[in-house]
Amino acid sequence: MKAAVSKIDLKLFRAIFNFRRNTVLPLIFRIISFIGDGYFYGLYFLYLYFSKNDIFKPALFVFLLAFAIELPIYRILKNSIRRVRPFNAHDEVENMVYPLDEFSFPSGHTSAAFMIAMIIAHFTPFLAIPLFIFAFLVGMARIYLGVHYPSDIIGGAIYGTGMTQVAILIVEKLILN
């Protein structure tokens, strides 16, 4: 079973990685990946602070708690699973960005993007669709740029979504009640 999943994963990776390399896509995906680094996530909280002050504190608590729960478990997962990145495992794959750590599973960029999308969907639902599309594109960018397999992205999306749900439940039960 594991071999079949790995084979499908590699086939999907190559299809995405090799798609239209001689276009503007590499630049677009580099930009998406850069935004997915998290530098702009604080803009959402500035927006809340100035326009929706009543939900600013609960949203900030969820954000801080989600990352406080997610980050240590993420590090343990990454260093326990120790999945080799595509550009290190396959000679024909050249990475177009430099990852922050050595291993591939789960995708931290995707996890963070889905965490932010979940937080925003919970507190400002009208922004949910564009943010989930962006989170998906962050994951696709990481594949396209040669640093993750599709299963890393799926794992990151599930993990980030799950950690945010836990944080939302904790904040709603302990802090808001």
CB contact at 8 A, 91 and 97 = no
Q: Token pair of 126, please?
A: 């009208």
Q: Residue 165's domain spans which residues? A: 2-175
* Averaged pLDDT of the chain: 88
Residue 5 pLDDT: 59
What's the average pLDDT block by block, 10 residues per block, for the chain (177 residues)?
Answer: 71 80 85 88 85 85 92 93 89 84 92 94 92 95 92 96 94 76
- Indicate if 122 belongs to the active site: no
Write the burial class of residue 157 (CB in 10 Å: 0-12 exposed, 13-18 middle, 19+ buried): buried
Which residue out of 58, 148, 164, 168 is catalytically annotated? Answer: 148
CATH number at residue 49: 1.20.144.10
CA distances from 19 to 92, 141, 143, 146 (A): 14, 12, 11, 12
Q: Is 90 a catalytic residue?
A: no
Structural domains in the chain (count): 1
So what's the pLDDT on residue 22? 77
Q: Report yes or no on whether pTM surpasses 0.85.
A: yes
Q: Which of 109, 117, 121, 122 is an active site residue? A: 109
What is the C-alpha separation between 43 and 87, in angstroms, rounded? Answer: 33
